[in-house]
Structure 1
Amino acid sequence: MTDADKLAVLWDERAITKVMLNFGRALDAGDWPLYRSTFTDHVLIDFKRLTGCDEIRVSADDWTDFAELILSPVRRHHTYSNFHIDVDGDHALALVYMTARHWKATDLGVSEYNQYGWYDVHFERRGERWLIARIKHDFQWVSGNNALFDMSEPNLAASMAKVFCDENRKAAIAALAL
């Protein structure tokens, strides 16, 4: 590998790391345009451990709307570490450890809900930018009160029905078969 090749790999790894850091920073700050900017126009989402729903292929706009609706009522703090990135041309795979902390004042149990695990992320280079094309959220354990998230809130329930619908599940199956 030449010095130029090594430099290119380092540059790609840095750019991919920055996408993940923007992803987390946007979640915490509620910067939904920044969050949306980390994805390809359609993205494969596997949050089955968290949602119980199979992997879906959904528009990044709909996914961002869902994230905003579910997370806005709580305070958030995401930290990422142990980045392992493999670049192969215009595609890359990353394993990124995460801790996701959530807080909301409540009289129905503890005010915190935390997740400890990682993301498996597939990136695609689009022009000069790296974007998330597929993401799997996994965790080793959780602690606290998952009831901080009010799944019965009408706008959130409607968003979940739109995002986790059969059509999006079937689209994921078709995309993965390619």
Structure 2
Amino acid sequence: MYCTDGHAVSAPATDSVAVARELRDRTEIVDALYRFGLGQDLKDKDLFASAFAPGAELDFRPAAARWGGRPPLMTGRDAIVTTILAMFTGRVDTTHQITNPRIAVDGDTARLTALVEAQHLLTADHATFALLKNPYDVELIRDGDRWVIRRMRIDNTWYTGDPTAIFG
């Protein structure tokens, strides 16, 4: 489930072309997750949508189960973008910090695991909030020179605040 390889780059250090190609891939892979987080934080529909493949899946059910939430599996880039931005825009202020990315590349597919600390505050009352520490398990596919998310599973390690006030 999580990327736990004991190295960051698999290309031989003596093959500078392969190392450069792999480093570019790794940068683009992490950037897909950055577009996901910042797109939400800025409520930027185009940036947020650019993180996903057309048939993407986003599974927030494991995280929500920690506080009794039962969201549906979100399927399709347009549905994911519309659902999340509609839930937050004008109602919830968010910030996402992404750390500890680990990546495994296999041709035109990749796996990314990372920790994401997600702060959610009601716009009208910042005293009502949910701070979540979530492990992400992300499958990506190559889309030209960039990578996009095909499947994302969000779990939860801990939270504080009131997630039900934020997510329903």
Find the counterpart in structure 1 of residue 9 from structure 2.
none
Find the counterpart in structure 1 of residue 32 from structure 2.
19
| Kept after mapping to 2: 8 A contact 1:42/1:57 | no
The superposition leaves residues 33-53 of structure 1 with CA deviations (integer Å, 9 ceiling, x where unpaired) of: 110111000112221122435
1:144 and 2:161 are equivalent in the alignment: yes
CA–CA distance in structure 2, aligned partners of residues 4 and 141 of structure 1: 41
Find the counterpart in structure 2 of residue 131 from structure 1.
148
- Closer, same or farther in 2 for the Cα pair 1:98/1:57, shift >3 Å? closer
| Kept after mapping to 1: 8 A contact 2:121/2:166 | no
Q: How does 1:59-74 map to 2 (within 5 A)?
A: 59-72=76-89, 73-74=91-92
CA–CA distance in structure 1, aligned partners of residues 153 and 41 of structure 2: 19
| Deviation of the 1:148 alpha carbon | 2.8
The superposition leaves residues 8-32 of structure 1 with CA deviations (integer Å, 9 ceiling, x where unpaired) of: 1111001111121111111100001
Aligned-pair RMSD on alpha carbons? 1.8
1:99 and 2:112 are equivalent in the alignment: no
| Kept after mapping to 1: 8 A contact 2:132/2:156 | yes
The superposition leaves residues 78-108 of structure 1 with CA deviations (integer Å, 9 ceiling, x where unpaired) of: 000101011111010000110000112449x
Decide which structure has greater helix share: 1
Q: Secondary structure at the match of 1:111?
A: strand
Number of aligned residue pairs: 148
Q: Secondary structure at the match of 1:52?
A: coil
When normalised by structure 2's length, the TM-score is 0.81
Identity of aligned residues (%): 25
1:48 and 2:68 are equivalent in the alignment: no
In structure 1, stretches of 5+ residues that fail to align are: 152-178
